[in-house]
Amino acid sequence: MSLQKGDATVKRVIELRGIRKSFGKHIVLNGVDFFASEGDFRVIVGENGSGKTTLLKIMIGLLLPDEGQVKVLGIDVKKHWKKLSSRTGVVLANERSLYWKLSAWENLDIFGGIYGVPRKVRREKAKELLERVGLWEHKDKPVENFSTGMRKRLLLCKALIHNPKILFIDEILNGLDPAAVREMVDYLSELNSSGLTIVMISHVLHVLPDNAQVALLRNGKIEIQARYRDIKGEKNDVYKVFERLIKGSDGDENDLAGDQGD
């Protein structure tokens, strides 16, 4: 499906309709609609346990919804999730996704191979990525000797090695120092500017790019969707704004709820 946004035709790449998911008697998602167009930078926020990771895992096919439709890049994810994997990059919160005994270079070489990147291309890409995230000097060190921040950066490289169309990220900013958070967000913004669609879960909210569209997940639904710059406004304490939004006690909520991203 294509949408008109100003003069440009924008392609919708993620469509989730009526998603419901429960674990036992606990209802996690209760009728979520979520859409993203090509080149969007979407950030999903919400309290711990609000279902953000569940929603992301449904988008990439790792979890099946009880009800609802999931289409990513035109693929029915419920049925053909394996077809999606070589076209999307995924950073899961679990750092064990990497091979800890192997070096950063070996990890990228292996993941590139698994995702079908030709040898010459993946070597060039691995070098480019490692240089960009400042890990080139550490390329031969085993991942087990990396700090949390270094592992997160390598996880991002791993997800990008096969030039995905969409990048799904689960809490990559957690555990990073302030400078590293800034660098990571700058790099994600750069990737987004070059056309990569990004869906990110984050609790770190103070340095998001202004054009990011924030979706608040509350009570099993996406209740508010708004541009980050509109949420931030003139107020400096962005965490306070989000805290009020998450708790549902801010009058601004009504002003922000208009942009539902559909």
Partner 1 sequence: MRSFFLTKAALLSAKRYKIDWYGSFLSPLLTILPAILLYYLGTRSGLVHFFYGATNTKNIFGYLLLGAAYWNYVEVLWGAVFALRYYMRIGQIEEIFLMPVSTLGYIFSWSALGLVRVTIESIPIIILAALSNVMTLTISGLLLSAAVLVLSVAASFGLVFTFFGATLSFKEGDELVSLLGNAAPLLGGMFFPVSVLPKTLQYISYAFPFTWGLDLTRHFLMNTNTLLNTKRELLVLAALSVMYLVLGVLSFKILQIKARKNGLQGF
CA angle 207/208/210 to nearest 5° reads: 115
Residues between 51 and 70 with contacts to partner 1, criterion CB under 8 A: 54, 57, 60-64
Q: How many Å apart are CA 7 and CA 62, to the nearest integer?
A: 36
CB count in 10 Å sphere of residue 117: 21
In whole angstroms, the minimum distance from the beta carbon of 230 to partner 1 comes to 34
Nearer to partner 1, 39 or 51 (CB): 51
Nearer to partner 1, 105 or 242 (CB): 105
Q: For residue 168, which phi and psi values (nearest 5 degrees)?
A: -105, 125
Q: How many Å apart are CA 47 and CA 15, to the nearest integer?
A: 23
Selected binder of partner 1 within 92, 191, 222, 241 (CB under 8 A) = 92
Selected binder of partner 1 within 25, 26, 96, 120 (CB under 8 A) = 96
In whole angstroms, the minimum distance from the beta carbon of 172 to partner 1 comes to 15
Structure tokens of 66? 């009880």
* Neighbouring-strand partners of residue 35: 15
In whole angstroms, the minimum distance from the beta carbon of 228 to partner 1 comes to 28
Q: Tell me: does residue 118 bind partner 1 (CB under 8 A).
A: no
Would you give the distance in Å from CA 38 to the centre of its chain? 14
Selected binder of partner 1 within 2, 3, 11, 23 (CB under 8 A) = 23
Q: Tell me: does residue 174 bind partner 1 (CB under 8 A).
A: no
In whole angstroms, the minimum distance from the beta carbon of 250 to partner 1 comes to 32
Nearer to partner 1, 53 or 197 (CB): 53
Structure tokens of 69? 């439709």
CB count in 10 Å sphere of residue 124: 12
In whole angstroms, the minimum distance from the beta carbon of 82 to partner 1 comes to 6
Q: How many Å apart are CA 227 and CA 256, to the nearest integer?
A: 8
| DSSP secondary structure letters along 203-222 | S--TT--TTPEEEEEETTEE
Residues between 206 and 245 with contacts to partner 1, criterion CB under 8 A: none
Nearer to partner 1, 4 or 94 (CB): 94
Q: Three-class SS of residue 76?
A: strand
Interface ranges with partner 1 (CB under 8 A): 23, 54, 57, 60-64, 82, 85-86, 90, 92, 94, 96-97, 99, 101-102, 106, 110-111, 113-116, 142
